[in-house]
Each structure stands twice: as C-alpha cells, then as structure tokens.
Amino acid sequence: MLGALALLGFASRTIPNPAFTKAVYSGPLEFKASNAFDKTRILSKSFPDRFTWSTPRKNAALWLKEELRKLGYVPHSQLFEETIAGKKYTDLENIFAEKPGTEFPEKKIVIAAHYDVAEGTHEGAMDDASGVGIILELARILSQVPLRHSLVFLFTDSEEYGNFWGARAFVNQHKAEIIAALTLDFIAPGHQTGILQLGDGIRKGFAPLWLRELALASLNKIAGTGEKVTELTGLGELVQRALLLPAADHGAFLEAGIPAINWVGQTDDFNTVMTEIHHTTKDVMERLEVDSFALPGRAAETLIYSIDANPDLRSQSELSMMSYWKISESRYFSPTIASIFAALLFIPFFVRVYQRARIEFQKAANTNFKSVLYFEALRYTQVSLALLAGYAALLLFPGIGILTRYEQFPGTQKTPLLYSPDLLVIVLLLAAGLAVYGLLRRLVKHPEPSTFSLETVYVFYSAVQAIITLIALLANSYMAILVLLFPAYSWSFVSVHKSRSVNLILLALGWASFLTVLIYMTTIFHLGVWYWFLILSASYGLVSPIAAILFLLTVALLIRIATRLLANRSFAR
C-alpha cells in the first residue's frame, strides 16, 4: 500500500502542457454567439417534441438539411434502425455535411450534437438544440475556410434512446476515417459558469491525452474571468474508467477507438439543473442566455483549427493512448504504471490470503480439511450457478417479451421505466435462481462435514476472492479498485478470532463503497431505482458480460460467507 503511494510521486509523468498551449490556434475567431442562439431558438420553438420516432423529429431533419443547403453544403442523411420500448423503427436519421480537406481529405474531424429530445422534454433547448445551434454557426463560419483535414458537421438522432444509437450508426460506417470527434451536449440554462469536459467511452475507450489537453487548452484560451474549465481526474477519472457509462454521444466514438470528448455547460447549482430542468418541459429557450454560447462555440472553432494544424501532436505514441490515468491536472500514469499501481494496492491482500492459506494447509492433517473444502466448493458453485442462471434468464427476458425490449439501454435519464421496478421480473429472477439452486442441490448430494474448522471455510473463500480479484484486475483494473478493493481488505479479515458481529460489520463494509457509488450515481444522474438500474443494465448488455459474471461470483461469495456467519454452528479446531 505504501509502495503504491510512493509510486504516485515517482512514477507519474508530467503532461507537456506548454506544448499544448503553444499548439492552440490564436488567430481571429468568427463565431457569433447570437447566431448560434437564434438557430437554437428555431429548433426549440419550431420543432418541439422531436422524439426520435416522431413527425416533429422528421420535420426537424428536413429543416437541418435546408439549413446546410443554405450554407452551401450537400446534406446527407443516414437512416438506421432501432428497437425502442418493444417497437422497431427503421426510419431514424442522422443528418450530416462534409467539407473536404485540402491536404488530408480522407481524414475527418467530426463535430456533433443530437437533434432528438428525450421523452418528457418539450423544447429541448439546452438538451440539445443548443449544441445544434453552435454547430450550424460553425458550419457557417467555416464554409469558406480551407482546412487540411475534412470536417464533418453531424446531427445525430436517437442520442436519448439506445445509448447513442445514432452516433453508433455513424461511427459504424465511418470509423476508419475519423481522427477526432467533439460532441456538444449541452449549454447550461441560467448563468453558465464554465464547461465540464468528458472523455469516457461506452464499456471501453477513453479520450487520449492529446485531444483532452488540446481541448482544455482551447477552452482555457477562450474562457473569460468567472468561467471555469473542469474535468474529472484522479479519483473522479478512476470512477469514470471503472463504470464507462458516458453521458453523451462521445461515448460511441470512444467505444470504436476514436478520440472524442464532450463539453457540458456548468452552473453554480448544476444538481438543480439536472433535477428540475434537464429532460423536463422546463428545458425551454427562455432559460438560455446568449453569452453562454460564446465559450463552447469559440473554443470549438479554436480546437478545430488546432487539431487541423497539429497532426504531429496526435501521432506521439503515449499521448495517443486510451489507457493511462490522469491523476492530477498536470500529471498522469502511463498504462504500465497505472496497472502496477492497481496491482500494488492489492498486494497486501494477496499476501495475507496466501499466508492464511499456508497456515491452514499446515493444520490440514488434524482436521477433515479435504471434505470441508469439497463441501464449500460445491456449495459455492451451486450458489454461483444459481445466480448465473438468473443472469441468463435476464438476457432472455427482452427477447421473449417479459422485459420491454430496448437496444442496449432503456434511455434515458428520468424515463419512467427506470423508476418502476417490475415485480414480475424480480420474482421470475428469484424463481429462476432458486429453481436452479434447488435442482443442483438435488442432483449433487453431499453430506455436510459434521465437524469442521470455520477458519478453513473463511480461508477457502478468501482464496476464491483472490482469484476473482485477479481476473478483475486483468479485465479492468479501475473496476477492480472501485468494486473489489474494500471487500479485499474487509472480507479477508473475517475470521474465527473475531466475534460474529465484528465479522458481520466487516462483511457489510466491504460492499459499502460500491453501493455508495451506485446509489449516488443513480440518484444524481436520475437513473432510477439503483437495483432496478443494475438489473436493466445487465439485461440490455450495458454492463459487459465479464463484469456481470465477476459481480455475481462476488455476490455468491457474500452469500456463502454470510450464511456461514449466520449459521452460528459450533466448530472444532
């Protein structure tokens, strides 16, 4: 543990901030906030209720094409399919225009915003007519400016449902050509105090340092006094990298390995904005201020010029990697150091498990060690299989109509589905699990050893925990830290030398960190009832199978240790 902390000081590297500051474009800017504001107003007021499947959305698409035509572009439309709430739609539509580059026409910079709105929203002025307004103004000012790289102005559909299905459809077709993407979702209502930059992918991917730093430098160059440019680093980035649940279209680009970031307007009371305005009928034009468009608009203009002028920056290997960990504003861990750091955090745990196992193994001759191990392994396997059967059932539910079918995620924040746990689904899940457990108990009968050392049992489960932790570290070390670090240092201390209540407290403590993050996240992001969100995420595939399986194996561990603790059986040494 101390080693891990010492590593923080020695092994981190300095981000070459001056290089980025130098690379930022500093010529004249043309972006007019009032123009972006006016376009935002037209989309908000003339095309309200533009839900992805609706006629207003289709009319908005026609308007966008007309706007692009007026600016001299050839608008393209990309149709795609998606299942939303059990219904299949085949006419969802991305709109985009391309401006060919003079030197690298095959390499594209994408600037995107979504033009659909979430159900429950009416105008969707902030989310995300504001982003569309900024892009239309950028399309206007850049139409005659020669750029070395091609530039794509993209208006995505279905950002709010299916986890960025429109952006994904676009990425699927154009993956090979895109060198960077900036998504603008969204301008904050009221007095905007700055921009938060996000760079997390869906299930995988994270913005490489070159884009992150160039974008921050662009924002900082434009930000006036009283405007703050922020990002999550350190612990915040650890949580982001552990969960990989992005809030906007940038996540779809990153998932495909394309460098991308998203800019979100901030206010002094952002939580109130997210609770009372975002994804409600209160998200109206009257709440937006013209001045708020200046920072993201002018910074986007700056960033586009900066990316265009510095192809060498993004080709530097370490700056172009997606796996690293920015631990502070100016320092980062390389991928190797980040992995070593994660491993070091767990080393005392592995050592402790090994020592306990060795001591117990030496005593093995005196006890019925083998039959205890066999019995516990059998029970643990039975519980695990029962939980995995529940997971398998959950994957089947949308297909057979027990759970409403959505693509990947029942978007979006505040969707009623997220807040109404389906009792039938939960009962069926429990029934599937219990049925499989009962069946397995009948199929493989094995008498419980009459006398045994509880310490052997605890040591066995610590060893299982060590194996799960090791696999998790290899799969996603950030996830391992977030979900398994606390259990590592509390569950492995459950022993016969402590009272039952102390042991129970240790068991509960281990899960506390993860549950806290989960409940906090579902609350502030308005993702519904936490356990229901977990069930839906697993069912629609938002959570990767490996993460889901490791999670269930850990739950099985919790169930078995708790069962042993609560059984309060006499034991013999």
The nearest distance, CB 398 to Zn ion, in angstroms, is 24
Determine if residue 190 is left, alpha or beta; phi over 0 gives left, psi from -120 to 50 gives alpha, anything else beta.
left
Order of strands across the sheet that contains 13-14: 13-14, 331-333, 325-326
CB-nearer residue toward Zn ion: 192 or 306: 192
- Give least dist CB 117 to Zn ion, A: 8
Two structure tokens written together for 212:
């992150």
* Nearer CB in complex with Zn ion: 102/271: 271
- Least separation in angstroms between residue 257's CB and Zn ion is 23
Decide whether 82 or 127 has the Cβ nearer to Zn ion.
Answer: 127
The pair of three-digit structure tokens given for residue 116, joined into one six-digit string: 């659909």
DSSP state of 483: I
Rounded to a whole number of angstroms, the minimum distance from the CB of residue 71 to Zn ion is 24
| 127 vs 213 by CB, closer to Zn ion | 127
Write down the residue that tokens 């690298």 correspond to: 104
- Judged by CB, which is closer to Zn ion: 183, or 554? 183
Q: How far is the CB of 396 from Zn ion (least distance, A)?
A: 31
Nearer to Zn ion, 127 or 157 (CB): 127
Decide if 71 contacts 140 (C-beta within 8 A).
Answer: yes
User: Of 492, 178, 128, 405, nearest to 307 (Cα)?
Assistant: 178
Closest approach, Cβ 97 to Zn ion, in A, equals: 21
Angstrom distance (rounded) from CA 168 to CA 114: 12
The residue (of 137 and 185) whose beta carbon lies closer to Zn ion is: 185
Q: What angle do CA 33, 113, 295 make, to 5 degrees?
A: 30
Alpha-carbon torsion angle 65, 69, 74, 80, nearest 10: 0
CB of 116 to Zn ion, least distance (A): 9
Give backbone dihedrals phi and psi of 416, rounded to 5 degrees, phi first: -55, -35
Q: Which CB sits closer to Zn ion, 113 or 472?
A: 113
Sort residue 195 into left (φ over 0), alpha (ψ -120 to 50) or beta. beta
Residue among 128 and 407 whose Cβ is closer to Zn ion: 128
CB of 390 to Zn ion, least distance (A): 33
For residue 24, the 8-state DSSP code is S
Alpha helices (runs of H) in 14-129, residue ranges in sequence order: 17-23, 33-46, 55-70
Distance separating alpha carbons of residues 312 and 309, to the nearest angstrom = 9
Which CB sits closer to Zn ion, 166 or 487?
166
Residue 230's alpha-carbon distances to 233, 263, 494, 558, in angstroms, are 9, 10, 42, 38
Residue 403 corresponds to which tokens in the numbers above? 């759970």
Q: Least CB distance from residue 311 to Zn ion, whole Å?
A: 30
Helices (H), 310-403: 311-315, 317-320, 335-362, 369-396
- Structure letter (DSSP) for residue 329: S
Q: Minimum CB separation from Zn ion for residue 127, in Å? A: 4
Which residue, 126 or 338, has its beta carbon nearer to Zn ion? 126
Compare residues 187 and 550 and give the one whose CB is closer to Zn ion.
187
Q: How far is the C-alpha of 296 from the C-alpha of 318, rounded, in Å?
A: 27
Place of tokens 């009792």: 423
**Residue 304 parent element (H or E):** helix 294-309
Strand order in the sheet with 76-84: 76-84, 87-99, 149-156, 104-114, 178-184, 260-266, 194-198, 228-231
Structure-block tokens of residue 328: 């502070």
> Which residue number, 115 or 346, has a Cβ lying nearer to Zn ion?
115
User: Quick one: 128 or 308, whose CB is closer to Zn ion?
Assistant: 128
In whole angstroms, the minimum distance from the beta carbon of 159 to Zn ion comes to 6
The rounded distance, in Å, linking the Cα atoms of 502 and 504 is 5
Q: Which is nearer to Zn ion, 128 or 360 (CB)?
A: 128
Q: How far is CA 301 from CA 73, 307, 484, 513, in A?
A: 18, 10, 43, 41
Give the H/E segment covering residue 131: helix 130-142
Q: How many CA atoms lie within 13 A of 185 on its CB side?
A: 33
Phi and psi, residue 158, nearest 5°:
55, 40
Closest CA to 305 of 2, 1, 31: 31
- For the bound state, the minimum distance from the C-beta of residue 131 to Zn ion, rounded and expressed in Å, comes to 7
Cα dist from 542 to 27, 114, 117, 364, whole Å: 43, 21, 21, 44
Binding positions for Zn ion, rule: CB under 5 A: 127-128, 185
Give the integer Cα–Cα distance in Å for 57 and 156: 11
Cβ at position 40, least distance to Zn ion in Å: 13
